[in-house]
Structure 1
Amino acid sequence: MNEERRKLILDTLDLLAIDWREYKLPGHDDPDTLHIIPVSGGSDSKCMSLILPAMFPNKRFIFVFTDTKAEEQASYNEFDQISEWVGYNVIKIIPEKGLYDLIDDYNGYLPSGQARYCTRILKLKSLDEWLEKKFFKICSHINLYVGIRFDEDRFGRLSNHDDVVQMRLPYLDLKMERSQVYSLLAATTGISPVYKHSSRSSCNCCFFKRNSERVMQCIEAYSEFNSVSVHEKLSDSYLEKLDSSKMFNAIISKYPNYLSNSALQSPYIFIAKPVSTLTENLPNPPKPIRNNTSDTTLDMFDASCNYDTDNFETVYIAVMFLVKPEDEYGIYRGNNDTFNGVYFTKIVNYSRNLNGLKRSLNYVYEHIMSTAELYNETQESMLRHLRIGIYEIKVPTGQLELDRVDKESYTWAGNGMSYRAIEQNLTIMQWILVRKGKLTHLEFLKNKLKSRFKEASKLPSFEDRLLEKQIITAGSVWEEYTKAKKSYIRSYNNTVLAMGEVSWSGIYKNIGLDKLPSVVAKQRKLDKENGNVEGEYTCIACSL
């Protein structure tokens, strides 16, 4: 590591108030002690591989990765970056059989939280065999420096040779937490793009992934998502149920590979009214969509809707928006005076349960704030610009698949949702949101023209009224309206494609940076007590 980069890392540690000078490297003076940093392609191990060589420039560290042949390509790119920064190659332990080969050996039986043969064989066994073969005869002690943070509670063993191999946890002594790890990476090498859809390093198919991570993987890394999907084992009856969705079939018939080819971060996606910075700071901003009934269960958004529950299914979906403050509109609006401040959108999760979705958004929000750099933001600017809209969508029964797979099927997901169902549900929900957004824009243009025609009708003479109407119909608004109307009719020209609607919308309340750690810690504790996988940390072996 060159001196300039070393100084940058140490200066950043000082800015983050990390008391690194007091940390003592175990076995520092023992020539028979080997120092190994396992790297996984994730942020915690990457940060560890930077700070220890910077803190101890005269000590030789070995960097090692246990491959599963099922990592995302962006993770492999991280190893090249680590090597370039520290001046030593990352050693890759490559197995003869990767994860998908192992699955075939296990007769197609997928790994799960109860049957983690992937961890045992590809991580722990591979590391143990490599250590024994390479180093047991030449050294008496081996320190493995593992990236378990101060704010985590995942522990375990990485080796069966405790007499020789010791797991060391520098982050605990340095009191380094999630935000500090990401801040150091943001100031040095940058954060891996994998973190646009994943909160932790893992195989692309890991059963520890949260539902929100699978949803965002489908959007941000569709090819990776699809490569996982094809290895699920779904029964004929379950596949028949998926194939019976008329709406999904109509969408992909009109637009094949909709998710991979469509702009999921669509500028036309329907925007929850409170998200718009044109209106959210008004004394009396527009309220969310509402359809009044006696139902009061949705008073979080002052909205409710009355549907025949036998004929419709309800799903709740969350969309991330990035907006610009009103004083910055000029550089984004250009000639379009309808710009509402939103310049980025992304679906981040969905659930059939509103409370479940709201709980999951605490983790999503924490992760987005931690990885603000990936969106060209700082944490402070992200706090100002981030909005998360929440929508209730009603869809005719039989179009979505919101149930767990049947007993004859095997899926990666801990919540029992198949990847195929996630893709199908996202396709339908995104279609409805974009359709609603286009219709809302069409109504806006229509009302604008109505207002101008109304003003024209007040002119005193017939000639003036006629001339003004001719000017209006020859103008840019009329042209945009007719173009948008034709496009809308062309896209949604049958009853199946017009199925479903947004019944109400609202906004997730952002959490202040000072309160965020305690809110998430409390949420994680409750999830752990209730056995909710959304709150789990990844397996410790995934640090390898």
Structure 2
Amino acid sequence: MSCSLALRPLGAGRHILSLSGGKDSAALAVYMRDRVPEMEYIFHDTEKELPETYEYLGRPEAILGKPIARTSPTDSFDHWLSVYGGMLPSNHRRWCTRMLKLKPFENYVGDDPVFNYVGLRADEARTGYISTKANITAVYPFREDGLVLADIHRILEESGLGMPTYTEWGRSRSGCYFCFYQQKIEWVRLKEKYPDLYERAKEYEAASLKQGVDFTWCASESLAELERPERMAAIKANRAAYEERQRQKRGNRSLAETIGGLVADDAQDKEDGCLICSL
């Protein structure tokens, strides 16, 4: 496949690609490896990531032939949670992305002119949440070159990277284990796969309540309510019914396609997401 981006000079500046631990940014790193040899690769560690995210980030370095730089926030999630008065982040108050991802990225960049490569595909309508500093120019190679989800799967398969292993148990995105963009079925699966992480997420809700701030990770219910056996069973049943309807409409679908769907119970989670976290 031709790459129009490679034929279009971007001018002077650093070339930086942020890896999130997700499939799109990993595929983009492979796609751009030979097109931009001077590319810098970076991962912004919130220290709240899934174990599979760290494992997946270890794979591209051998393929890319250079290390992935890692940043840590100047102050921890817990520090910023205190600064924000116990107000848990949500799609309406994305301070976690701003303080734990964007600020470390902008500190890493400094005042240098930078081309920031973003893995938005041609079949996506979202715009996401990225830096707006004047010296940072976003570049969208997949979108410019017309690459869609099937192309990303092909790149990952042919390179040997494969899909992130968290997709095997039904997680649809990278990012913190308590990411508020999770669908409710994903919270159920987190409870089953990593009950210790689920408990930690519950503790954040409980601490928020103690400070007199009634914030939960899900807009409509707390994790204590969601983990009730009958509630978890209802969420699973709702998901199974949705997947059956989709099978009848479209025929057999791959796991990668299935895990990305939404059901009515998860409607409040359908948002653009944070590109620097979840691509």
TM norm structure 2:
0.80
Segments of structure 2 that go 5 or more residues without pairing to the other structure are: none
Provide the C-alpha distance between the structure 1 equivalents of 2:166 and 2:217, rounded to a whole number of angstroms. 19
Percent of aligned positions with the same letter in both sequences? 22
Mapped contact 2:22–2:174 kept (Cα < 8 A): yes
Alignment of 1:333-352 (within 5 A): none
Name the CA shift for 1:427/1:160 in 2 (closer, same or farther; >3 Å).
Answer: closer
Name the CA shift for 1:21/1:166 in 2 (closer, same or farther; >3 Å).
Answer: closer
Provide the secondary structure at the position in 2 that maps to 1:20: coil
The structure where strand makes up a greater share of residues is 1
Name the CA shift for 1:220/1:174 in 2 (closer, same or farther; >3 Å).
Answer: farther
- Quote how far apart the aligned CAs of 1:222 are: 2.7
Q: Which amino acid aligns with 2:268?
A: V
Mapped contact 1:157–1:167 kept (Cα < 8 A): no
Provide the C-alpha distance between the structure 1 equivalents of 2:144 and 2:232, rounded to a whole number of angstroms. 48
Work out which of the residue numbers 212, 226, 232 in structure 1 matches 2:185.
212
CA RMSD of aligned residues (A): 3.5
Alignment of 1:141-290 (within 5 A): 141-155=113-127, 158-162=130-134, 164-187=135-158, 188-195=160-167, 196-233=169-206
Q: What is the aligned partner in structure 2 of residue 379 from structure 1?
A: none
Deviations 1:165-216 (A, max 9, x none): 2100111122222233134323421211122332122211111111122122
Q: What is the aligned partner in structure 2 of residue 421 from structure 1?
A: 225
Q: What is the aligned partner in structure 2 of residue 129 from structure 1?
A: 107
- Quote how far apart the aligned CAs of 1:543 are: 4.8
Alignment of 1:288-367 (within 5 A): none
Name the CA shift for 1:207/1:157 in 2 (closer, same or farther; >3 Å).
Answer: closer
- Tell me which of the two structures has the higher relative contact order, counting C-alpha pairs closer than 8 angstroms and 6 or more residues apart: 2
- Quote how far apart the aligned CAs of 1:46 are: 0.8
Mapped contact 2:129–2:273 kept (Cα < 8 A): no
- Quote how far apart the aligned CAs of 1:22 are: 4.0
Aligned residues: 264
Q: Which amino acid aligns with 2:272?
A: Y
Q: What is the aligned partner in structure 2 of residue 43 from structure 1?
A: 23
Q: What is the aligned partner in structure 2 of residue 541 from structure 1?
A: 276
Q: What is the aligned partner in structure 2 of residue 24 from structure 1?
A: 6
Provide the C-alpha distance between the structure 2 equivalents of 1:124 and 1:205, rounded to a whole number of angstroms. 18
Segments of structure 1 that go 5 or more residues without pairing to the other structure are: 1-18, 237-406, 434-501
Provide the C-alpha distance between the structure 2 equivalents of 1:25 and 1:120, rounded to a whole number of angstroms. 33
Mapped contact 1:144–1:168 kept (Cα < 8 A): yes
Larger Rg: 1
- Quote how far apart the aligned CAs of 1:422 are: 2.1
Deviations 1:327-374 (A, max 9, x none): xxxxxxxxxxxxxxxxxxxxxxxxxxxxxxxxxxxxxxxxxxxxxxxx
Provide the secondary structure at the position in 1 that maps to 2:162: coil
Alignment of 1:432-443 (within 5 A): none
Alignment of 1:118 with 2:96, yes or no, is yes
Name the CA shift for 1:44/1:76 in 2 (closer, same or farther; >3 Å).
Answer: same
- Quote how far apart the aligned CAs of 1:21 are: 4.2
Mapped contact 1:37–1:49 kept (Cα < 8 A): yes
Provide the C-alpha distance between the structure 1 equivalents of 2:170 and 2:90, rounded to a whole number of angstroms. 21
Q: Which amino acid aligns with 2:200?
A: S
Provide the C-alpha distance between the structure 2 equivalents of 1:25 and 1:411, rounded to a whole number of angstroms. 48
Alignment of 1:34 with 2:14, yes or no, is yes
Name the CA shift for 1:71/1:26 in 2 (closer, same or farther; >3 Å).
Answer: farther
Provide the secondary structure at the position in 2 that maps to 1:508: helix
Q: What is the aligned partner in structure 2 of residue 483 from structure 1?
A: none
Name the CA shift for 1:227/1:119 in 2 (closer, same or farther; >3 Å).
Answer: same
Name the CA shift for 1:515/1:89 in 2 (closer, same or farther; >3 Å).
Answer: closer
Mapped contact 1:34–1:142 kept (Cα < 8 A): yes
Provide the C-alpha distance between the structure 1 equivalents of 2:30 and 2:251, rounded to a whole number of angstroms. 26
TM norm structure 1:
0.43
Mapped contact 1:200–1:538 kept (Cα < 8 A): no
Name the CA shift for 1:220/1:185 in 2 (closer, same or farther; >3 Å).
Answer: farther
Provide the secondary structure at the position in 2 that maps to 1:113: coil
Q: Which amino acid aligns with 2:179?
A: C
Mapped contact 1:37–1:144 kept (Cα < 8 A): yes
- Quote how far apart the aligned CAs of 1:90 are: 0.9
